[in-house]
């Protein structure tokens, strides 16, 4: 009679994500989705405040200038930038474009993403500051 071998399964350490830089960045990127969600909620607060009249908008601005909200938004900005940059780095690997037999170089696809990002940011800035 043969018996199945007793296999050894190595348990995963709680701190496995500290073992490598790439694992750590991966966990930070996963975490960044929480901060992206916070910016969405913050934007909804802003829209609600604007639509509720000047007094409500002033109150929102005062609340936003508070040290806690300011600190949270600064951290959020860093995480959103990490999210965006790592997402853009992924894009040329996912998008393979051929024009006839010529393959569009990955660096061009990456550059177009940054260009579009810059353009949209400039439009938003123009709307806010005009």
Partner 1 sequence: MVDRITLQVARYRPDQETEPVLQSYEVPLRKEWAVLDGLNYIKDQLDGTLSYRWSCRMGICGSCGMTINGEPQLSCATFLTDYAPGPVRVEPLRNFPVIRDLVVEIDDFMRKLTKVKPWLIREEDEPLEDGEYLQTPSEMDDYRKYSMCINCMLCYSACPVYALDPEFIGPAAIALAQRYNLDSRDEGAEDRRDVLASAEGVWACTFVGECSTACPKGVDPAGAIQRYKLTAATRSLKDFLLPWRAR
Least separation, in Å, of the C-beta of 92 and partner 1? 9
Of 77, 81, 69, 83, nearest to 33 by C-alpha is 83
Q: Is 104 exposed, middle or buried (0-12, 13-18, 19+ CB in 10 A)?
A: middle
The residue from 30, 31, 48, 52 that contacts partner 1 (CB under 8 A) is: 30
The residue from 2, 8, 41, 107 that contacts partner 1 (CB under 8 A) is: 8
The residue from 44, 90, 115, 116 that contacts partner 1 (CB under 8 A) is: 90
The residue from 14, 22, 51, 54 that contacts partner 1 (CB under 8 A) is: 22
With binding defined as CB under 8 A, does residue 130 bind partner 1? no
Of 18-26, 34-42, 47-55, 74-82, the window that binds partner 1 (rule: CB under 8 A) is 18-26
Query: What does 60-122 look like in DSSP terms, one character per residue?
Result: HHHHHTSHHHHHHHHHHHHHHHHHHHHHHHHHHHH---EETTEEPPHHHHHHHHHHHHHHHHH
Please, what is the Cα angle at 119 between 40 and 125, to 5 degrees? 60
With binding defined as CB under 8 A, does residue 128 bind partner 1? no
Which residues make up the interface to partner 1 (CB under 8 A)? 5-10, 12, 16-17, 19-20, 22-23, 26, 29-30, 86, 90, 93-96, 101
């Amino acid at each position: 009679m043969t018996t199945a071998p007793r296999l050894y399964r190595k348990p995963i350490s709680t701190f496995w994500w500290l073992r490598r830089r790439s694992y750590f960045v991966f966990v930070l990127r996963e975490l960044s989705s929480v901060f992206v969600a916070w910016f969405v909620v913050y934007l909804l607060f802003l829209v609600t405040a604007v639509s509720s009249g000047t007094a409500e908008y002033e109150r929102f601005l005062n609340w936003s200038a508070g040290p806690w909200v300011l600190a949270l938004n600064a951290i959020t900005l860093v995480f959103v930038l990490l999210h965006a940059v790592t997402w853009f780095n992924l894009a040329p690997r996912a998008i393979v474009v051929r024009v006839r037999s010529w393959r569009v170089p990955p660096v061009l696809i990456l550059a177009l993403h940054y260009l579009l990002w810059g353009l949209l940011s400039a439009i938003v800035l123009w709307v806010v500051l005009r």
